[in-house]
């Protein structure tokens, strides 16, 4: 009887514990830390061996006279496949230094040969500010500095690799300049190949425009307009006025590109906004998807392409407007939301970015100290490793019904065993 009771009780407990625990890691060294970017890491044989995370930390507060200055510095760290910290690189003087972007560097054959950090030129707060130009920092696979290069054209907001039929051939970037913004194309040595200035206009985002996985131009958010330009950064085509959306971002697609963000053009029982995705190809809308889950613009929204040779599907990270949980949904190439693969209810987490290898999701961001607790930190960096197959949302009603049914079966089984044993004794 004891064995039967144990098995039934274990089954009930397993069904009750529908959410497995995620594993979170943090540097836990400074008062304020955050990670903003995550990319796969490689060894010298070009084999993936973990992940690199980019962010910033508050090194110290500096008192000069009656003023207090925050000495933030850029940080890049590597975790191996066992989620152990391998190395750490930091950059910055006593000014406030933040990571602006993280991607890869490439050799003459188009192979990844390091990590590219974009930040603004640092300076000492006791000296005059030297300006807002960007610094390109190359870090090798071993975490050591390879070189620093100053970009005199302005401050890089975003930079992404471009390629031709032979592979990676350089980069295209958005720069903030004194008169507005610019699009600049570089070769792999960061020499300027071409440039297009947009005076008195701010550029917010850009992505590649593809035709059957080949680059045919670039999509750009210019003020409140979504536009495309050709490979020579000319022949503008205005696709849409996007001022009606609360937020807007761009991501690549196998054909065309994706516009996504948060919209209030929804019909929901709870909440007043949700996510949207629109696939454009040949400057025309192919499909549009509007979320049925309330999503807020106060949380980070990130669309992640899952690739092999081509993009095979997407994962979308957003923050639920009702319960402030973070959720991840899987979306196919036709814009259909296939399923929800993740729901994390911890209100202490702020996610900035994420990556998935197909079975595990890696989140980066920040852990916030609760207001009612006395922590040794204010905001810790967050590196959270979560198994897609173990941590999924189970609706409250469903889980409660399962527990009720098995509780009733448990009571009936125990009662039946007791009844049978009493009759046997008689």
* Residue 2: per-residue pLDDT: 45
User: Per residue in 56-65, pLDDT tens?
Assistant: 999 999 998 8
Phi then psi for residue 16, to 5 deg, are -70, -40
CA distance to 78, 105, 109, 111, 113, per residue, from 44 (Å): 14, 13, 15, 11, 8
What integer is the mean pLDDT of 105-109?
A: 92
Q: For residue 212, name the pLDDT band (cuts at 50, 70, 90).
A: confident
The answer to whether residue 369 scores a pLDDT higher than 80 is no
299 within 8 A of 319, measured Cβ to Cβ: yes
Identify the DSSP state of 162. E
Backbone φ and ψ for 123, nearest 5 degrees, come out as -160, 170
**Tokens standing for residue 171:** 């980069």
Average the pLDDT over each of 26-40, 326-340, 355-369, 380-394 and give the range with the smallest value.
380-394
Chain-centroid distance of CA 344 in Å reads: 15
Structure tokens at 288: 């549009």
Cα separation of 143 and 257, whole Å?
34
What is the pLDDT at residue 30?
A: 84
DSSP 122: P
Record the pTM. Answer: 0.85
List pLDDT tens digits, range 234-246.
Answer: 999 999 999 999 9
| pLDDT tens, residue by residue, 286-336 | 999 999 999 999 999 999 999 988 999 999 999 999 999 999 999 999 999
pLDDT in tens, 231-276: 999 999 999 999 999 999 999 999 999 999 999 999 898 889 999 9
Q: What percent of the chain has pLDDT over 90?
A: 68
Residues 6+ apart with CB under 8 A from 132: 120, 121, 154, 155, 176
The per-residue pLDDT for range 110-151, each reduced to its tens digit, is 899 999 999 999 989 888 776 679 999 999 999 999 999 998
- Residue 243: the pLDDT is 96
Per-residue confidence (pLDDT) for residue 426, from 0 to 100:
54
The count of other CB atoms within 10 Å of the CB of residue 149 is 12
Per residue in 64-103, pLDDT (tens digit) is 888 898 999 999 999 999 999 999 999 999 999 999 999 9
Q: Which two tokens stand for residue 192?
A: 């300027």
Structure tokens at 423: 């009759």
- 209 falls in which pLDDT band (50, 70, 90)? very high
Confidence band, pLDDT 50/70/90 cuts, at residue 364: very high
CA distance 51 to 82: 10
Mean pLDDT computed over 48-56: 97
> Which two tokens mark 72?
């933030």
């Amino acid at each position: 009887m004891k064995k039967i009771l144990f098995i039934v009780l274990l089954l009930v407990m397993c069904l009750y514990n529908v959410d497995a625990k995620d594993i979170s890691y943090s540097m836990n060294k400074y008062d304020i830390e955050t990670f903003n970017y995550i990319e796969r890491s490689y060894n010298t044989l070009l084999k993936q061996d973990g992940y690199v995370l980019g962010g910033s930390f508050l090194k110290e507060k500096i008192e000069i006279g009656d003023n207090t200055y925050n000495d933030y510095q850029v940080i890049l760290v590597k975790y191996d496949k066992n989620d152990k910290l391998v190395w750490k690189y930091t950059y910055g003087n006593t000014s406030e230094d933040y990571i602006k972007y993280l991607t890869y560097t490439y050799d003459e054959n188009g192979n990844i040969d390091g990590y590219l950090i974009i930040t603004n030129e640092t300076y000492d707060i006791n000296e005059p500010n030297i300006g807002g130009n960007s610094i390109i920092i190359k870090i090798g696979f071993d975490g050591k500095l390879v070189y620093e290069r100053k970009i005199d054209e302005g401050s890089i907001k975003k930079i992404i690799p471009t390629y031709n039929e032979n592979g990676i051939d350089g980069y295209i970037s958005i720069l903030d300049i004194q008169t507005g913004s610019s699009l600049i194309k570089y070769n792999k040595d960061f020499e300027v190949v071409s440039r297009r200035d947009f005076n008195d206009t701010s550029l917010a985002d850009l992505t590649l425009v593809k035709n059957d996985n080949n680059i045919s131009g670039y999509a750009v958010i210019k003020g409140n307009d979504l536009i495309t330009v050709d490979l020579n950064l000319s022949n503008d085509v205005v696709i849409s006025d996007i001022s009606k959306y609360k937020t807007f971002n761009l991501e690549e697609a196998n054909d065309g590109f994706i516009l996504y963000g948060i919209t209030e053009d929804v019909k929901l029982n709870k909440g007043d906004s949700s996510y949207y995705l629109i696939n454009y190809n040949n400057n025309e809308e192919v499909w549009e998807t509007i979320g049925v889950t309330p999503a807020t613009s106060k949380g980070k929204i990130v669309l992640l392409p899952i690739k092999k040779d081509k993009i095979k599907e997407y994962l979308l990270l957003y923050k639920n407007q009702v319960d402030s949980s973070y959720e991840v949904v899987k979306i196919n190439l036709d814009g259909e939301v296939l399923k929800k693969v993740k729901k994390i209810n911890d209100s202490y987490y702020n996610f900035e970015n994420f990556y998935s290898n197909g079975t595990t999701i890696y989140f980066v961001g920040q852990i916030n100290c609760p207001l009612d607790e006395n922590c040794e930190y204010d905001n810790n960096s967050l590196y959270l490793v979560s198994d897609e197959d173990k941590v999924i949302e189970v609706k409250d009603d469903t889980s409660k019904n399962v527990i009720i049914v098995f509780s009733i079966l448990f009571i009936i089984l125990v009662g039946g065993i007791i009844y049978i044993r009493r009759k046997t004794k008689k």
